[in-house]
Amino acid sequence: MYIYLDGDYVQEQDAKVSVFDHGLLYGDGVFEGIRVYDGKIFKCKEHIDRLFEAAKAIMIEIPLTKTEVEEILVTTCKKNTLQKGYIRFVVTRGKGDLGLSPDKCPTPTVFCIASDISLYPAQMYETGMPIITASQRRNKATIVDPQIKSLNYLNNILAKIEANQAGVPEALMLNHDGIVAECTADNVFIIKKGVIYTPPIHVGILDGITRSTVIDIARKVGYTVVEKEFTLFNVYNADECFLTGTGAEVIPVNSVDRRIIGEGVCGPITKQLLEEFHKVASCDGVAVFE
């Protein structure tokens, strides 16, 4: 496997960062996870834009242009002959010392990994998956804004541990007011009487690119999509529930906290949106192989 690291393409065993890198010491950095479908990098521009916006928010100046980042993404896929899979592009504050001050980190560290991915079993896209509600609350947007896709994922990891301990793949997270926010790595949608609902950004969620894509798809095929606050009561009594994410794509939820959702399988609207998403994903992207 070839990995891009600070200007070079190196083998996995040679891809090393300093133990003084603030990305390692403090989770000080940003990243993007991007899918590759049929030799095309899906929503490449949108991912790059979000990367630069997150870096700006935490005052990291990426030492590359957006065009150069795109070239790195394409070249990393080419070198690994990746037709279908996942790219992780990471920018850290860089090497410093043991102190917190970013002033001691003169040069950001940049690396890019392109590899295969299989997040959930294929059968779950038919049967749906069970999830729980985590006791761990989502970070407040006024403290560490979840719109910043930072390397500090401890909030999500603690909720993921709860999911693992409960024997389910995902955990739903509420904000401090008890409003449904998102899952540990996915955005959440519910459907009631043909209307699709998803939490608004201000409740403390990542503005997911797959989320935005699915909203656009749903509206184009004729569904009403409402970004609105809702609680667990609304989730438990939904006709359908599904999650979206770069890795997850569009995956149905069949139960939440042991409450069966709808018929307990992938509902008709969710199934349609998954099919429509795959159509878009197969043709919307930057080509790796000309």
* C-beta of residue 110 within 8 angstroms of C-beta of residue 90: yes
* C-beta of residue 30 within 8 angstroms of C-beta of residue 148: yes
Vertex 54 angle, CA 50 and 58, to 5°? 170
Which backbone phi and psi does 209 adopt, to 5 degrees?
Answer: -75, -40
CA 103/CA 124 separation, integer angstroms: 47
CA 117/CA 251 separation, integer angstroms: 15
Of residues 40, 43, 95, 149, which has the active-site annotation? 149
- Token pair belonging to 261: 């959702």
Active site residue 149: yes
Maximal CA-CA distance, the chain: 56
Cα 61 to chain centroid distance, Å, stands at 22
CA 49/CA 90 separation, integer angstroms: 14
Task: Note the helical H segments in the chain.
Answer: 22-26, 44-57, 66-79, 124-127, 154-166, 209-220, 232-236, 268-281
Residue type, 34: I
- Token pair belonging to 217: 């798809």
- Token pair belonging to 6: 């600070």
CA 251/CA 266 separation, integer angstroms: 8
* C-beta of residue 29 within 8 angstroms of C-beta of residue 93: yes
Residues designated as active site: 149
